[in-house]
Each structure stands twice: as structure tokens, then as C-alpha cells.
Amino acid sequence: MKSALNKRTLLLAFVLSLPMASVASARRLGVPNGESPFIVPPVVRLTGTLVPVKEQQNGGLDTLKVRIKDQEWAFKLTDVKTLSGTDYGAMILNKLFPREVRFMGPEDVLRSIEEEAAAGKSLVVEGRLYIVDRNFFVTAQGEPTTKAG
């Protein structure tokens, strides 16, 4: 009888410790705070022009403050699309407060973005938006396509 009680107590302790182990594992694996490790951040496409912060006069609803490495930029947005799940468009940026994000990703892609920005060209950036941590993991970068008309 005493052995069965000990087994039940151990089983109960094990079951109750699972949620804590999940949280600890999520933090160890780098899952952003406040987000479930089972929810994938949305894939977002940002279109616009990056300008140095000192040249940007007023930040409106169409502006996103961006940090690439140690440099700050103002992203003057012309279009925002959510490519995974429901397309919230620019409304997804309302979840970012303050409206700033850090671009992260492969070194060559980040360098290409900075070169396009320095040349004053419009660009399209795609990646996963980690809203709680305000990180944007860039997966692709290119120039906007123009529609023939």
C-alpha cells in the first residue's frame, strides 16, 4: 500500500512539473518571452525606403524605426503584408510599441539591405516578425516589382 502511494505521489509530482520544464526549455532554446514555443511568428513583407534617422523629420504611422547592427534607420513604409495566416497588413505593426524593430539575419542579407538603403533605393524585406521581442528575422530581400500598365 505504501509503495503504491509513493508511486502516485511521484507520478503527480512529475505531471505537475511538466509545465515548468516546458517554460525552462523554451527559454533555453531562445523562444521569445511571452510567446508560446508552439506558435510560429508571422511571415511579413515590408516594402519601402530606409533613410538615416537624422534625415527623417516626423515619424508617422507609415514609419518604422529599424536597427541593423548598431545603425538606426527610419523605414518609410509603402506596403505591409502578412504572408502567413491572416493578412493583417499594416495593422500588425500596431502590436509593436514602441514602433521599432531590430533586423536580424544572415550577414550578407543585412549588408545588402544597408547598401540599398545607402543608395536610396526602395526595397522589399521578408522575414519572421517576433512581436514581443521586436525582432525581425530577415529571410529575403529584394527590390519592389513594378506593374506594367
Q: What is the pLDDT of residues 3-25, one digit of tens each?
A: 665 777 766 666 666 565 455 45
* CB-CB contact of 16 with 35 (8 Å): no
**What three-state secondary structure class fits 28?**
helix
Distance CA 149, CA 146 (A): 9
Domain ranges in the chain are: 1-30, 43-142
For the segment 42-82, what is each residue's pLDDT rounded down to a tens digit? Answer: 999 999 999 988 765 666 668 899 999 999 999 999 999 99
73 contact partners, CB below 8 Å, separation of at least 6: 50, 51, 52, 53, 65, 66, 67, 117
Distance CA 56, CA 75 (A): 9
Kind of pairing, strands 122-130 and 43-52?
A: antiparallel
62 contact partners, CB below 8 Å, separation of at least 6: 48, 76, 77, 78, 90
pLDDT of residue 58: 62
